C-alpha cells in the first residue's frame, strides 16, 4: 500500500480520498477549510497543516483544485507543494487547467528532482463511488508506470495519453461534449413537453433511448429535480468551455456547438444560477420556451 498525500478535498477530491482509504492506503490530506475534511479524518486520513506538509509526508501527492489561480496558491510559497517536493516524489495533478499551465508546473516540479503527471478524470461522484471512473494521464511514460497502480485504485480505466498537458487536452475535449450533450437533451425534453408529453415521460424515454450516454443517464433526471449540491456547477463547466474555445482558436478547430452552449452557461449566470449543476441550462431554455419561472 502506498504512502499518499491529497491536497484539495472538495466533492470529488474528498470522495477519492475515501476510496483510497478503503483500498488500504495511508493518506495525509489538506484542504483550505479543515471542517470539510472532518469526515475523512474520522475515517483515518491524517491531517496535514499545509500543502508542503502533505507533500513532505507522501511519496505520491494528488492535487485537485478548481483553476490555475488555485493551483498557484497551493504550489507556490514556503508552505506550498513545491517546497515539500524532493527526489523521487511524484505529483499527480487532477485539476482541469490549460495544458500550458500544467506543463509550466511540471517544469518547476522537475527542478526539485521530482516529477509530475497531469491526471484529470472523466465521470462524476456517482461513477467514482461505483468504481467506474476513467483516468487520463499525461507525462513521462516511466512516471506513469510508477503511478498507475495507485491511479487504478481511483478508477479502473487508466489511459496514458501522451506527454505533459496531453491528458488535459483530452479532458477538455471530453468536457465540452458533456455540456453540448446536456443542452441537446434539454432541447429534446422541452420539445416533447410543449407537444403535450409529460416531462417525466420525456425524460424516461430519452434516458432509455439511443441517445442515452452514461452522462445523459445520470444527469438527465436533474431536469426533474436538481441535486441539493451541484456535482459540477455552472462556474466550473464554463471554465472548461472557455478553455476549449481557447484551444480551438489556437489550433484552428471550429467549435460551433461549444460556443453556443457556452452562451447558455452565461445566461445561467445572468439568472443567478451559477452555483447550480450545469444541467440547470434546462431552466434557461425552459424560461426561453415560456415554461417555468
CATH number of the domain that residue 228 is part of: 1.10.1040.10
Mean predicted confidence (pLDDT) in 69-77: 94
CATH number of the domain that residue 74 is part of: 3.40.50.720
Q: Which of 162, 195, 219 is the last residue of a domain?
A: 162
Domain presence at residue 53: yes
State the pLDDT confidence band at 16, using cuts at 50, 70 and 90. very high
179/150 same-domain check = no
Per the CB < 8 A criterion, the answer to whether 207 and 221 are in contact is yes
Give the per-residue pLDDT at 293.
53
158/187 same-domain check = no
Cell numbers at 18, concatenated: 475515501
Which pLDDT tens digit goes with each residue over 27-57?
Answer: 999 998 899 999 999 999 999 999 999 999 9
175/146 same-domain check = no
Q: Which of 129, 162, 195 is the last residue of a domain?
A: 162
Q: Which of 162, 180, 202 is the last residue of a domain?
A: 162
Residue 41 Cα distances to 23, 54, 100, 273, angstroms: 16, 14, 34, 32
108/234 same-domain check = no
Domains identified in the chain, total number:
2
Domain presence at residue 293: no
110/21 same-domain check = yes
Which pLDDT tens digit goes with each residue over 207-259?
Answer: 999 999 989 998 999 999 999 888 899 999 999 999 999 999 999 999 999 99
Which pLDDT tens digit goes with each residue over 93-143?
Answer: 999 999 999 999 999 999 999 999 999 998 878 888 888 889 999 999 999
Cell numbers at 266, concatenated: 452565461
The 8-class DSSP code of residue 4 comes to: E
Mean predicted confidence (pLDDT) in 175-197: 97
147/195 same-domain check = no
137/69 same-domain check = yes
Range of the domain at 93: 3-162
44/104 same-domain check = yes
Give the per-residue pLDDT at 2.
85
Mean predicted confidence (pLDDT) in 260-275: 97
Give the per-residue pLDDT at 1.
81
* 213-219, long-range: CB < 8 A, 24+ apart: 213/181, 214/127, 215/178, 215/181, 215/182, 216/181, 216/182, 216/185, 218/124, 218/126, 218/127, 219/124, 219/182, 219/277, 219/279
Amino acid at each position: 500500500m502506498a504512502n499518499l498525500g491529497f491536497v484539495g478535498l472538495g466533492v470529488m477530491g474528498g470522495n477519492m480520498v475515501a476510496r483510497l482509504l478503503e483500498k488500504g492506503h495511508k493518506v495525509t490530506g489538506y484542504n483550505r477549510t479543515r471542517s470539510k475534511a472532518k469526515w475523512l479524518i474520522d475515517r483515518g486520513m491524517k491531517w496535514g497543516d499545509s500543502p508542503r506538509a502533505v507533500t513532505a509526508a507522501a511519496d505520491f501527492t494528488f492535487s485537485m483544485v478548481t483553476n490555475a489561480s488555485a493551483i498557484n496558491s497551493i504550489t507556490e510559497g514556503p508552505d506550498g507543494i513545491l517546497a515539500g517536493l524532493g527526489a523521487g516524489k511524484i505529483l499527480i495533478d487532477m485539476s482541469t487547467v490549460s495544458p500550458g499551465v500544467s506543463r509550466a508546473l511540471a517544469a518547476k516540479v522537475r527542478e526539485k528532482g521530482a516529477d509530475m503527471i497531469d491526471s484529470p478524470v472523466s465521470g462524476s461522484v456517482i461513477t467514482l463511488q461505483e468504481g467506474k471512473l476513467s483516468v487520463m494521464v499525461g507525462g513521462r511514460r516511466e512516471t506513469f508506470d510508477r503511478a498507475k497502480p495507485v491511479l487504478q485504485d481511483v478508477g479502473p480505466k487508466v489511459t496514458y495519453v501522451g506527454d505533459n498537458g496531453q491528458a488535459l487536452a483530452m479532458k477538455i475535449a471530453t468536457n465540452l461534449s458533456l455540456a453540448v450533450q446536456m443542452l441537446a437533451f434539454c432541447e429534446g425534453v422541452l420539445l416533447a413537453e410543449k407537444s403535450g408529453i409529460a416531462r417525466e415521460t420525456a425524460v424516461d424515454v430519452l434516458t432509455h433511448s439511443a441517445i442515452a450516454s452514461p452522462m445523459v443517464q445520470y444527469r438527465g433526471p436533474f431536469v426533474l429535480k436538481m441535486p441539493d449540491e451541484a456535482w459540477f456547477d455552472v462556474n466550473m463547466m464554463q471554465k472548461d468551455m472557455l478553455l476549449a474555445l481557447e484551444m480551438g482558436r489556437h489550433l484552428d478547430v471550429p467549435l460551433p456547438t461549444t460556443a453556443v452552449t457556452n452562451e447558455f452557461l452565461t445566461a445561467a449566470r445572468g439568472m443567478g444560477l451559477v452555483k447550480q449543476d450545469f444541467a440547470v441550462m434546462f431552466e434557461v431554455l425552459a424560461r426561453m420556451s415560456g415554461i417555468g419561472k
